Every structure is written in C-alpha cells, then in structure tokens.
Amino acid sequence: MIRIELSLRLANSPGALAGVCRLLSNERINVQAMGLEAGGQLRLVVDNHVHAAAVLRDHHHQVTERNVIVTAVPNAPGALAPALKLVSDAGVNIEYAYGGGSEGSPTASIVLGVDDAERASAAAGV
C-alpha cells in the first residue's frame, strides 16, 4: 500500500533519536517503521503522518514527506524477491528499502522508497 514517509536529518549526538521518539510518543503517535542512516537521515512511517509532521516541525525539525510502498511479506527466505521482480519489471527504480520482522512472526514489513510509488504499487499488487 502507498503510505506517506516522513524524513528528517538528526544531529550526530547522543539522544537525538530518543528525543524524536519521545516527542512522537508524548503525542501518542505510533512509529510503524523506521530507518536511520549513518549520516543522520531518519525515515519514519507513522500512524498519523499529518500530526507527526506538525509536531516535528513545531520542534524545529525540517521534515519532508514522500509516497513510499509498505508491504507485508511472509517472514521466510525469498519471500520478498517476487514482489521486487514485479516492481523491477514495471521499470520502477528502488532507491532505498528498510524493514524487518520479529523472529517467529509470520510476516515482515518492508518499506520501499521508489521513483514512482503509484506504478510500483500497481505492479506489485500492494
């Protein structure tokens, strides 16, 4: 399914990620997926992106929003490959991906940052 991802840059300092998570928690915003790169680029999929973006901006974070694909796949070897092939066959470039599943969980959630979320979603059937 197509979801809105929030992206912001964190300072490279102890507690920066904890501070963002605390802000969202205090507002009862649930983080459903998160990816943090070594350069401080934080990507979030949350249950209420409008409220989350407003809260983060109120605390002086520069937040960008973009459409991403969020898909659930069986938590088993090779389960993601068929969906990725459908996206590739549709000519959609995957720019980045993050996600995971808990050990023993039947499904894993994967976030795909793509150059055309609508086309990728249609191609992969998500």
Query: pLDDT by residue (tens digit) across 55-78?
Result: 999 999 999 999 999 988 999 999
Evaluate if pTM is beyond 0.85. Answer: yes
Neighbouring C-beta atoms of residue 58, cutoff 10 Å: 10
40's tokens? 């401080």
Burial of 28: CB neighbours in 10 Å, binned 0-12, 13-18, 19+: exposed
* Same fold yes or no, 2-66 and 67-124: yes
Fold of the CATH domain 2-66: VC0802-like (3.30.2130)
Query: pLDDT by residue (tens digit) across 16-67?
Result: 999 999 999 999 999 999 999 999 999 999 999 999 999 999 999 999 999 9
CATH class of 67-124: alpha beta
Spell out the domain ranges in the chain: 2-66, 67-124
Neighbouring C-beta atoms of residue 42, cutoff 10 Å: 20
